[in-house]
Every structure is written in C-alpha cells, then in structure tokens.
Amino acid sequence: MTAEKRRPESVLPLKPVDYLVLLVLAGQDRHGYGIVQDIEERSQGQIRLEPGNLYRTIRRLMGQGLLKETERRPAPESDDERRRYYCLTPFGLRVAEAETARLKRLVRFAESHSLAEGKERA
C-alpha cells in the first residue's frame, strides 16, 4: 500500500525526534543543518541532534513516505549547492496532524487528572 493510501494512525505514535522533524518541516523546506538548528531553538537547547542521528531519522521518515528530498532551493547566491533540502509529503503532513491531535488528547487527559502544570492537587 502506498503512503498516500495509508491511514496516518498506522504509524502512530511517533518517536519524539520524528515528530520534531515533521514539525520543523511543516513550516518550510529545510536542509539538515537547518533542521538541527530549528529543533535546538524550539526545544530551548534541550534537544541537540547529532548529524548522524538526524540523517538516520530522515532516511527512516523517507522510507515511511513522510518526507522527500526536494528540488526547490533558495536563491543560488545564498545557498550551498551541496545541501540537500527536505520537505513533508502530503502523507507526512497528515501524520503530523494526526500526531498533534493524539498528543492534544493526552494533554486533555492529564489536565482532567490535575497533572497539568500549575494546577494544585488536593
């Protein structure tokens, strides 16, 4: 079955690093180092991916049909031609949306049990 015909739930739950990569690429196409920088920035320095780990993750996500390498590039004068750029596939976007909905349900459950930050327990 092709990725486009699969249900997003078939690959859930995502590993946290996989979800972060999808989130970063949901905003725009990025090259590997840009993905690393964005994840570090968005996690306030708590998550620092090593290049080897990032590229293993990218290969796995590409194998699942969530990402692809893109030919689109920024202006040639501001880019290094050796960089590879990645983007979400339509299936990857649907998976990111489904994972976001799944995590929202978990947070609502935690909140209903007074486990959310800032709530006092009786």
Strands (E), the chain: 30-31, 67-70, 85-88
* d(C-alpha 11, C-alpha 30), whole Å: 23
Q: Are 12 and 102 in contact (CB under 8 A)?
A: yes
What does the pLDDT look like over 53-74, one tens digit per residue?
999 999 999 999 999 999 876 6
Pairing of strands 30-31, 85-88: antiparallel
Average pLDDT, the chain: 88
| Ranges of residues in the chain whose predicted pLDDT is under 70 | 1-4, 73-81, 117-122
What is the pTM assigned to this prediction? 0.84
**β-strand partners of 68:** 87
